[in-house]
Homo-oligomer: A and B are copies of this chain.
């Protein structure tokens, strides 16, 4: 096996691991929402618009387990919960920007605008 093939296969393995963390319809949208500032449950829902409370709750838990976001409960009245991005989560900012930039380029070339 050549070194070139080996490097390529290694990258594919890392990518497959990484996809397990960011894969899905809602995780990156939630991350974008929280990169733009700490938010409450209802605020994230309003940002993403068509996400159901079930999916939002489920995906927030997964992101918390992976230490990408933090959940903070405030003993105010009524009880409020604030979600925020961790330092690790913040490092996804470049990744997200690259996807967005490519998405805009793709749109221009395919949908032709």
A residues whose Cβ falls under 8 Å from a Cβ of B:
4-5, 7-9, 11-12, 14-19, 21-23, 25, 28-29, 32-33, 36-37, 47-49, 66-67, 88, 91-92, 94-96, 98-107, 109-110
B106 lies within 8 A of A18 (CB): yes
Closest to A25 in B: B19
B25 lies within 8 A of A103 (CB): no
A102 lies within 8 A of B110 (CB): no
**Bound CA–CA A23/B94 (angstroms):** 18
- Residues on B with C-beta less than 8 A from A92 are 102
A47 lies within 8 A of B5 (CB): yes
**Bound CA–CA A83/B109 (angstroms):** 20
